[in-house]
Chains A and B, each alone.
Chain A
Amino acid sequence: MYPDSYQESLAKVAAKRAENAAAEPRRMTADEKDALLKEYHPDYREDQFEEIKIGPNKGEKAPHELVAMLQAHSRVHAGDVDLDKPQYDVDVLIIGAGGAGSSAAIEADEAGANVLMTTKLRIGDANTMMAEGGIQAADKENDSPQQHFLDAYGGGHFAAKKELVEKLVTEAPEDIQWLNDLGCEFDKDETGRMITTHGGGTSRKRMHACKDYSGAEIMRTLRDEVQNRKIPILEFTSAIELLKDEEGKAAGAVLVNMETLELTVVRAKTVILATGGAGRMHYQGFPTSNHYGATADGLVLAYRAGAKLLYQHTLQYHPTGAAYPDQIYGALVTEKVRSLGAKIVNKDGEIFVHPLETRDVEAAAIIRECKKGNGVETDHGCGVWLDAPIIDIKNGEGTIKKRIPAMYRMFEKRGIDISKEPILVYPTLHYQNGGVDINTDCETAVKDLFAAGEVTGGVHGTNRLMGNSLLDVIVFGRDAGKAAGARFKDVEIKGKLNLNHVDAFEDELKAAGVETDLVSPKLLSKYVDQKTLLQGPGIIQ
């Protein structure tokens, strides 16, 4: 239920609803978009970024919070563990069991590799599980891979690695078929035709969905398949450092049990990083839509091992995070609400932006509207209305309950019926556009170290379109699994496993004059209130 203080604004929105439902708002010109982004998008706030002082991206910018982690101390050093006695010796080690990691595991297993997965929480406790809106693929008659290319490349501000985008869009239909054949339940009509819609920045309706549980449906199907194949998974076990052999090739990792803190050494011929995103870094103090384990660990592990990052300074702020009530502050309100026809309006019920601009433009427009004083004030700042009831006006009553049941439920639980009332929204930290640089085989600058999914950079340039990330994790997850599944056969781990790169990194830190008490990767964010705690050896000695 909305508080009394919102009622006046709600009445204005309701009064304009019919008119707004019929309105066809104008799209911004390229110049208007550029100007808007420069002034209002968080990526352009210079005081929020700093220069990276060491490593392959030395001299480039990244958010303060990320630099602090990239330039922190390792959690483990030579001597802390016996690297000569690995507990596991495998062909392919996969770090992170979300969509990318699970797809990779299935393909590596298919290729005959001895696979081990390790993951921070449980398999599927991942951003993939949370994706609501859908997954893109150009499989309709009026569409084509090159049209998809144009949307993705342009939407990413012409900054993506073209060869990665080509792969993304060309393999998309095949991967939808793959998911379908695994039993994933896409929305179809009675004849089997995929029901597809627009997403922000698409020029064709190519968004496939599984209601608004698209990621959950994909993730639980992949998880079931991983389990059917009996691929071993170490849950509640995080990678805290990569290991190399004496030739500097990636050759395993040191893992920590998140509960007992016990360390484990894995020797592996190839390693696939699939650790996902960084929402829980809370850049610039933004709330986030991401799962609990999204703390940019993969960037830290890869960077210390010598891999290069790409576009680490660009983040995606999803325009419609929930701004009310408190319990879901920052949670995602799927773009599908806008795909289905809902409009964005200010406190007076006026439309100020086309609802399907690319996410960065849409988010910047909302921030501008709030700065102008045209938003609704909240405990956390400000919000604008996403007028969801328009969906049922345009598509018939019951559409909301049928097509976006998760959204309906999320608000219904809080006494808000989104088929009758609008949703209060403000941008939320959603996606890491950049990440570890990879080639078309998903290999990083470190030999035998592969990466796939949100942890990588280059596929989406500096702005990702809705539906291209789920696609990314399936396409590149599978490809990484295939690549490692082929590579391991020729790999010979030379000499002893070592952490020499970590020592070298610590030396570089010192030489660059970086002083810090922090350790990384972050693993989990602290949401515990500051309290006075017992210091020293703890309760049991």
Chain B
Amino acid sequence: MANEEFVNVYFFGKRYSVPANLTIMTGLEYAGYQLVRGCGCRNGFCGACATIYRIKGDAELHMALACQTKVEDNMYVATLPFFPLQKKVYDINQVEPTQQIMMQLYPEIYSCIGCNACTKACPQGLNVMQYIAYAQRGDFKKCADESFDCVMCGICSSRCPAGISHSQVAELARRINGKYLTPDAEHLKQRVKEIYDGNFKAAMEDYMSKSDAEIREMYNTREIEK
């Protein structure tokens, strides 16, 4: 690696010197940790690598995804590979898309004290407190949109004095929105029915029975939608 600059980071309070261009995750590995927990997609999608850090001498606590965050000099790092979130079970076919369901499954959202710690902590930069407010009101669409980029790392919940499992609340809102509140795709329903009725059977059999040369010709000369 061309970059020869090193920084001092403190993993769980112990100092290691690691190349400055690493992430917290690859820094841990460089230091000698073989990760099992706290490492999933390695690219910011799965939320496995929730991490807390503080720069020495600084009062502020930072929350981050270890795979997405560069190491810094004097960074004190603790990983948060698991956080006990509450996931309530429900039958998606039975729920009704009203505020009632939130009150029933996640009543603690109504104890939100508005401290905004969740929003400040979100490594995805989401307005977490706002989407919880939408959920309180039963505005599932807005809650779904606002929370869409959530990776369910649990960091917000670790900071919440009201014990809210934000990402689970948002998951419920998104499923309700996707299933009940977004209009159905009529062309999709139509196509499912046509297939069920066997409308494409003959054409498909015809394609399947083509010789290699014929199908190649068809493929190479097929018209491509602009």
**Chain A residues in contact with chain B, CB under 8 A?**
30, 121-122, 124-126, 129-130, 137-142, 144-147, 149-151, 153-154, 158, 162-163, 166, 170, 173-174, 176-177, 180-186, 188, 190-194, 198, 203-205, 211, 213, 215-217, 220-221, 224-225, 227-228, 230, 236, 258-259, 289, 291-293, 325-328, 331-332, 379, 405-406, 409-410, 413, 524, 526-529, 531
Contacts and interface: CB of A to CB of B under 8 A. Distances in A.
B195 A174 contact: yes
Interface string B20-42: 01110010011011111101111
A185 B43 contact: no
A130 B43 contact: yes
A291 B40 contact: yes
Contacts of A121: 36, 39-40, 48
Given A149-B208, A220-B171, A291-B46, 17 more contacts: A126-B46, A151-B222, A173-B191, A174-B192, A176-B188, A177-B192, A182-B179, A186-B178, A211-B149, A213-B149, A220-B152, A227-B89, A228-B92, A236-B36, A292-B35, A406-B149, A528-B33
Contacts of A138: 191
Contacts of A183: 92, 174-179
A124 B167 CA distance: 15
Given A149-B207, A154-B215, A406-B149, A230 B89 contact: yes
B41 A125 contact: yes
Interface of B: 1-3, 21-23, 26, 29-30, 32-37, 39-46, 48, 68, 70, 87, 89-92, 124-125, 144, 148-149, 151-152, 171, 174-179, 182-189, 191-192, 195-196, 200, 203-204, 206-208, 212, 215-216, 218-220, 222-225
Contact of B40 (A193, A230, A292, A332): A292
Given A121-B48, A325-B21, A141 B187 contact: yes
B90 A153 contact: no
B12 to A, nearest CB: 16
Contacts of B2: 379
A259 B225 CA distance: 51
B44 A410 contact: yes
Contact of A170 (B174, B200, B218): B200
Contacts of B40: 121-122, 124-126, 129, 291-293
B208 A180 contact: no
A162 B208 contact: yes
Given A139-B188, A183-B174, A198-B225, A150 B183 contact: no
A150 B225 contact: no
B144 A185 contact: yes
Given A258-B36, A291-B42, A331-B43, A326 B89 contact: no
Nearest to A24: B226
Contact of A166 (B174, B182, B208, B212): B208
27 contacts: A121-B48, A124-B40, A130-B43, A139-B188, A142-B225, A154-B216, A154-B222, A158-B216, A166-B208, A170-B200, A176-B188, A183-B178, A191-B186, A203-B223, A203-B224, A203-B225, A228-B89, A228-B90, A259-B36, A289-B43, A291-B41, A291-B46, A293-B40, A327-B23, A327-B26, A413-B68, A528-B34
The interface centre, meaning the residue of B191, B222, B225 with most chain A CB atoms within 10 A of its CB, is B191
Given A379-B1, A526-B34, A328 B182 contact: no
Nearest to B90: A228
Contact of A327 (B21, B175, B189): B21
Nearest to A183: B175
A130 B41 contact: yes
B224 A177 contact: no
Nearest to A198: B225
Given A174-B195, A228-B91, A139 B185 contact: yes
A349 B135 CA distance: 48
Nearest to A181: B179
Nearest to A531: B32
Nearest to B151: A216
Contacts of B36: 121, 236, 258-259, 524
The interface centre, meaning the residue of B179, B203, B207 with most chain A CB atoms within 10 A of its CB, is B207
A138 B225 CA distance: 13
Contacts of B185: 139, 180, 186, 188, 192-194
Contacts of A170: 195, 200, 204
Contacts of B208: 149, 162-163, 166
Contact of A185 (B34, B125, B148): B148
Given A188-B183, A529-B32, A531-B32, A326 B45 contact: no
Contacts of A162: 208
Contacts of B189: 177
A186 B144 CA distance: 12
A527 B124 CA distance: 26
Contacts of B206: 146
Contacts of B177: 183, 185
B92 A139 contact: no
A225 to B, nearest CB: 7
A104 to B, nearest CB: 19
Contacts of A220: 152, 171
B188 A150 contact: no
The interface centre, meaning the residue of B29, B195, B212 with most chain A CB atoms within 10 A of its CB, is B195
